[in-house]
Structure 1
Amino acid sequence: MKISIKTLVAATLLVGSLLSAVGAAAQEGPVFELRTYTSTPGNLDKLLARFRDHTMGLFEKHGMTNIGYWIPLDEARSGNTLIYLLKHDSMEAASASWRAFASDPEWAAVNEASNRDGAILDNVQREYMTATDFSQMK
């Protein structure tokens, strides 16, 4: 399944706004965002380079905290999957950070350059979470 970058950005903004509206009243304190990216065939290295060289810094610039980045050990996913965890101050902060990130001219340039030879990203999944009262991450 191919997703255009414009569609991905629009969906990110819409979902962020909806989640912010729904979750803001019930959630106080930090919010963790778990994302799973599936690259297009043969492009995981390009996706990893984009995160290593650009995206992580842009996330920090826009108020997101990078917690960790992982490649699954599962053979079927190890060649095309990046899983990462971000921390936000709140759902509202997450929504604001993603809006700012999506409209950043530096991100637009990085995204365009990394997709110059074809889309490197096939699928994005994300889930927002709050820490339990016994979690080491708060």
Structure 2
Amino acid sequence: MIHELREYTATPGSAAALHRRFADHTFTLFARHGIEMVDFWSDRAEPDRIVYLVRFPDEDARARAWRAFGQDPEWLEVKAASEAHGPLVATMTSRVLDRVPYWEPVPEAAAVLPTEAPASAGTEPAEAR
């Protein structure tokens, strides 16, 4: 398994439109082409900066997925429409990452944060609050 870290800097005033394009179109197209999203962030210090991590089984799968995505007629249409008044992305960097052999990843279930407070939340003794 390989991971790819991608960082985008939106053109001035375009960050919201870039986020909308990801949310409304790009994630679906990624899934269609085997680009598995791991996580997605915005940068607190630089709000025009978007960072995300994807993964692939191997380098061949990565190359095939990006090639197919880049040639997808729906992507080409979405990109053209979203950039009708100018480009949304000023810069983009990509880094392919390999896991080091001495790191054991956290099991996915252990890394998931609860979406709701446990049923006992708010019932702990006052001294524990």
TM range (shorter): 0.7 to 0.9
Q: CA shift at 1:73, angstroms?
A: 1.6
Question: 1:1-138 residue pairs with structure 2 within 5 A?
Answer: 30-74=1-45, 77-78=46-47, 80-133=48-101, 134-136=103-105
Query: For structure 1, which runs of at least 5 residues remain unmatched after alignment?
Result: 1-29
Q: Distance in 2 between matches of 1:53 and 1:84?
A: 16
Corresponding letter in the other structure for 1:73: R
Q: CA shift at 1:135, angstroms?
A: 3.5
Query: For structure 2, which runs of at least 5 residues remain unmatched after alignment?
Result: 108-129
Q: Distance in 1 between matches of 2:106 and 2:27?
A: 20
Residues 88 and 137 from structure 1, CA distance in 2 versus in 1: closer, same or farther, beyond 3 angstroms? farther
The total of aligned residue pairs comes to 106
Q: CA shift at 1:130, angstroms?
A: 1.4
Q: Distance in 1 between matches of 2:100 and 2:39?
A: 19
Q: Distance in 2 between matches of 1:50 and 1:84?
A: 14
Q: Distance in 2 between matches of 1:135 and 1:109?
A: 41
Residues 45 and 100 from structure 1, CA distance in 2 versus in 1: closer, same or farther, beyond 3 angstroms? same
Corresponding letter in the other structure for 1:135: E
Corresponding letter in the other structure for 1:60: A
Relative to total residues, which structure has the larger helix share, 1 or 2? 1
Corresponding letter in the other structure for 1:37: Y
Residues 32 and 117 from structure 1, CA distance in 2 versus in 1: closer, same or farther, beyond 3 angstroms? same
Q: Which has the larger radius of gyration?
A: 2
Provide the alpha-carbon RMSD of the alignment: 1.4
Contact 1:131-1:137 within 8 A present in 2 as well: no
Q: Distance in 2 between matches of 1:35 and 1:109?
A: 22
TM-score, reference length from structure 2:
0.78
Contact 1:33-1:85 within 8 A present in 2 as well: yes
Q: Distance in 1 between matches of 2:98 and 2:25?
A: 27
Corresponding letter in the other structure for 2:37: N
